[in-house]
Chain A
């Protein structure tokens, strides 16, 4: 399901079939105040993303990529604008309701893995289910399956410091997907990995995307970005280029 929001919206209006986009940002602004100066980290952003898309967010450092991702993950709130996730305005939800949305619909993958050092690989993967109050027996069987799927069955009892970088990120991805979220948000997931390991991780994420999970990756890497079916390029908090709207990125 490719094609820009405008096209889709028009099509919907014409056909009358109501297909809700997974993500719809309208007029989003996020302003940081640092002393006297204000930084428009996100500036009048309108973006629509359909379920199952594979999107790369690119742009120079400080252009607002991470801010956007945090906002999409409900870790941050916009100062202005609305954010509809699966047709529901999530900016007006209470903190607890937002936590529930994060728990069930959103998975995070971080550049620095963010595994809990005292917990084993299996326990780290089980963490979101534990927080969601899923019974221990179900957790055990789902974690066992995930360990197998991600090639970690020999590492279930290892702590993060006993794992390689690639293994750590695989544990993190297993953790991000264990609740079967609708969206996977990854902020430079290969930033701390060497090329080959990074490619493995990206491949893993792409396989997950192929099973229907919407994948949004922030990356500096042009080659990685080019693998995505849609590229968003940010600059100074604004959307400078959207491949769905403006066509493929001109090769620099």
Chain B
């Protein structure tokens, strides 16, 4: 039997039982649509996070105290050796490196703010003037911390927009005196709202000179040093120079971890890709279920068409021909279902994008290929058994069925 005839025969056979065919096509379509929509969601989340992270600041290099064994971004590894303090002087030394544009030290802790008769918990971040430019923050009122000796900061503070709102409401904040823990500082500026910036909401932070924060929290070490490279191409050079400089300053010991924004991004990227793959895997289970349904539908087809199979054998059909015809039918059900589901899934992703425009919900190519492949694969795989059964039917017995 010619291939075109096998296909036409299978198509007509599938068309001859619309309900059966419709159901298995639907099951397959739902499975594929689930994979497409869920991976669009997962990958959309990945792109969203990556975009947000990129907005942190460009060409960023971060130094943290403690040596990470792998050099990757892992807080657990950061604690493997007792690190030497990462001091303000260390940070200041980095400002003279050739590939470095700006440096900002960062010391942080929790404290209380008390002003205007109100009290609340805040995160206090000790830093210096360049911080605002490294993070590309904008001022709503006043100005950011002044250029000054990092070791002798004035008792001033810059507050986040949410703090301003909650403590001062509509009253002017700039120029007011506030209590921060046991210190009295003067507000010199309010930041524009920026929202969530990965882990710490900048709108709820009070920025003070780094020396003030260190004495408040009674520490010499820095939590982070943020460095902006002169250009994207300089990031690796910055990493090298910073590592060498701090090694020299710390008695020839590499006791800091230097991470680049790219590395952090790569970590998040990897994490969310894994998440998307996991979601796709779960959705793929529905494809296996659809495959089993196709198998049952084909088994029913073999039973229903037993007399026909007997007839085909009497008319000279070889076992292989009958097997091919039933396999082709199973493949068609799967294929048709897969493409219907693909269309449905794309539509679902489109609806998601319309509803959440910031969320780039596009299914990744690999997921589409995998979903279509799995659908076809399971359909064919589960089609083998019924097709073989059909091919092996005894013609005399089959012809007696009616």
Contact = CB atoms under 8 A, between A and B. Distances in A.
A99 B317 contact: yes
B289 interface: no
A114 B402 CA distance: 9
Contacts of A132: 1, 316
B311 A99 contact: no
Given A110-B399, A131-B1, A99 B12 contact: no
Given A116-B308, A118-B16, A130-B1, A75 B317 contact: no
Given A70-B396, A110-B399, A99 B9 contact: no
Contacts of B315: 102-103, 108, 127-128, 131, 175
B316 A102 contact: yes
A170 to B, nearest CB: 17
A110 B308 CA distance: 13
B396 A76 contact: yes
A249 to B, nearest CB: 29
Interface string B303-328: 00001101111111111110000000
A246 interface: no
B233 interface: no
Interface in B10-39: 12-13, 15-16
B181 interface: no
A106 B16 CA distance: 29
B2 interface: yes
B119 to A, nearest CB: 82
B274 to A, nearest CB: 49
A75 B395 contact: yes
Interface string B343-368: 00000000000000000000000000
How many interface residues does chain A have, given as a range?
Answer: 20 to 34
Contacts of B147: none
A112 interface: yes
Interface string A87-102: 0000000011001101
A241 interface: no
A100 B316 contact: yes
Given A118-B16, A119-B12, A133 B316 contact: no
Residue of B15, B311, B312 most packed against chain A (CB within 10 A): B311
B5 interface: yes
Nearest to B17: A118
What's the dominant secondary structure at chain B's contact region? helix
B399 A131 contact: no
Nearest to A176: B315
B1 A73 contact: no
A73 to B, nearest CB: 7
Contacts of A100: 316, 318
Q: Which of A76, A96, A108, A116 has the most CB of B within 10 A?
A: A116
A158 interface: no
B314 A131 contact: no
Nearest to B12: A118
A131 B6 CA distance: 9
A118 B13 contact: yes
Most buried by B among A100, A106, A114, A131: A131
B316 A103 contact: yes
A73 B319 contact: no
A88 B16 CA distance: 41
A114 B316 contact: no
A130 B314 contact: no
Contacts of B314: 73, 75, 102, 108, 114
A84 interface: no
A142 interface: no
Contacts of B2: 130, 133, 135
B302 to A, nearest CB: 15
A104 interface: yes
Contacts of B321: 131
B308 A99 contact: no
Contact of B307 (A75, A99, A114, A135): A114
B318 A95 contact: yes
A97 B310 CA distance: 17
A175 B1 CA distance: 16
Nearest to A117: B16
Contacts of B308: 116
Interface string A158-188: 0000000000000000010001000000000
Interface of A: 70, 73, 75-76, 95-96, 99-100, 102-104, 106, 108, 110, 112, 114, 116-119, 127-128, 130-133, 135-136, 175, 179
Return the 4 tightest CB-CB contacts between A and B, nearest first. A103-B316, A118-B16, A102-B316, A99-B318
Interface of B: 1-2, 5, 9, 12-13, 15-16, 307-308, 310-321, 395-396, 399, 402
9 contacts: A75-B395, A99-B318, A102-B313, A103-B317, A119-B12, A127-B312, A128-B315, A131-B321, A132-B316
